[in-house]
Amino acid sequence: MRRILWARGFRDFGDGLVAVLLPAWFLALGYGAAEIGAVSTVALLGSALMTLGVGLLGARADPRVLLLLAAVLMAATGLGFVFATGLGMLMAIALVGTINPSAGSVSIFAPLEQTMLTRAARDGTRTAVFARYSFVGSFAAAGGALAAGGADGLKALGLGELTAFRSAFLLYAVLGVACWLAYRALPPLPPEVRQAAHAPLGPSRGIVLRLAALFSVDSFAGGLAVQALLALWLFERFDLSLAQAGLFFFWTGVLSAFSFPVAAWLAGRIGLINTMVFTHIPSSLCLIAAMFAPGVEWALGLLLLRSALSQMDVPTRTSYVMAVVTPPERTAAASFTAVPRSLAAAAGPAIAGAIFAAGWQATPFIICGVLKIGYDLALLWAFRHIRPPEER
């Protein structure tokens, strides 16, 4: 498990770095909100297609081999962004690469790692394991967001703006190599174990289909407010610098990270579904309120409060999915719930970017909050009686 946590830290540091840097990089290249939204959509669509491929491979491929290949792809993606400047080439790299505009774990890595962690955890410790996994990722993403401000430091030292940004993408490529080294130490899974541990959806199909449908609504809403677009909103609404935005997203990541152990503790007392819903709704209200904030202090304060609550459903959601399906169905369930989520999330940034470019900068974030509240209420109603083993 330790190797998976190291790899999660490396790649989420890179995701946090890129999510803040991406809008500044595109603005430096002469592009605007519409192009940023389009590239974000293409990146999420590519992640969805690769995750679907993982689900189809199932027991035929060793998850260690797939993780090693994904790490190589991450390194190649960073190098691609170092050299590419044309919109068509950037979109092609985003489609087939691992660039993540949301700084969340929506990638080919997630279902593979989640299945391996579930196999190593008992029912009573599963939520705590996923809380630790999410804590490492969020804290690393916070560090990556803070490191994005280093581009301003490099410019102050006399480095050209584009060269400073390319240095950050080169670091992203190096982090891909670090992930490869971490995954290389994982033991291979023998074919007979893979065959026994993986199966297509069967008894749990109905539950997984309903969860996937609801998660898609949540992800579409989240796609309207990906971190790259939120950073762009802060740049344009309050004239924040790259370093200031990086510092802000560092603290949002820190708050999210420390919310995960709280989520595991809370889930043990009120249940997984209640924890997901009763922390998520206030976070959506904070996002909506931030759009009407009279000044930068109020806006940042509300967004920080949102960050302390909005990710508490991440370890609980993953733990719930792994708990309510049979063990052989876990890989299929992880992929089947991840793919519709990624596809739905992919539609959001392009729509939000177009609305943003039309002059309605706050509208995508307000729609995001309203849709997420609707999702939470529907989830509570539909799954209030379906409990994981440790809650029965």
> Cα separation of 157 and 155, whole Å?
5
Q: What is the pLDDT of residues 218-267, one digit of tens each?
A: 989 998 988 888 988 998 899 888 888 889 989 998 998 889 889 989 98
Phi-psi sector, 271: left (phi>0), alpha (psi -120 to 50), beta: left
pLDDT value at residue 59: 54
pLDDT at 194 over 60: no
Which one, of 15, 238, 299, 33, lies nearest residue 148 by Cα?
15
Output the six-digit token pair for 302: 């509300």
pLDDT on residue 58: 55
Q: Ranked by mean pLDDT, which of 10-19, 191-200, 318-327, 365-374 comes out on top?
A: 365-374
Helix 126-148 / helix 161-184 crossing angle, nearest 10 deg: 150
Q: Which pLDDT does position 56 carry in this prediction?
A: 65
pLDDT of 333 above 70? yes
- Report residue 84 as tokens: 């590419």
pLDDT of residue 151: 81
The mean-pLDDT minimum among 9-18, 63-72, 194-203 falls in 194-203
**Region 285-300: what's the mean pLDDT?**
95
Question: What is the pLDDT averaged over residues 78-94?
Answer: 90
Q: Which residue has the higher pLDDT, 141 or 127?
A: 141
> What's the pLDDT at 195?
58
pLDDT band at residue 191 under the 50/70/90 scheme: low
pLDDT over threshold 60, residue 4: yes
Q: How far apart are CA 33 and CA 1, in angstroms?
A: 39
Q: State the DSSP H helix or E strand holding residue 272, giving kind and residue range, or none if neither.
A: helix 272-291
**Terminal CA-CA length for the chain:** 27
pLDDT at 248: 92
* pLDDT, mean of residues 123-152: 83
Tokens of 91: 């979109």
Give the H or E element holding residue 86: none
284 in Cβ contact with 222 (< 8 Å):
no
| Residues 11-67: tens digit of each pLDDT | 999 988 988 888 888 888 888 888 888 888 888 888 878 877 766 665 567 788 888
pLDDT computed for residue 338 by the predictor = 74
Report the mean per-residue pLDDT for the chain.
85
| d(C-alpha 320, C-alpha 212), whole Å | 13
Please, which pLDDT band fits residue 190 given cuts at 50, 70 and 90? low
Q: Looking at the predicted structure, is the pLDDT value of residue 76 above 70?
A: yes
Confidence at residue 129, expressed as pLDDT on a 0 to 100 scale = 82
pLDDT at 302: 96
C-beta separation of 346 from 41 below 8 A: yes
Q: What percent of the chain has a predicted confidence (pLDDT) above 70?
A: 91
153-185 per-position pLDDT tens digit? 887 787 888 888 899 999 999 999 999 999 998
Do the beta carbons of residue 136 and residue 8 sit within 8 Å?
yes
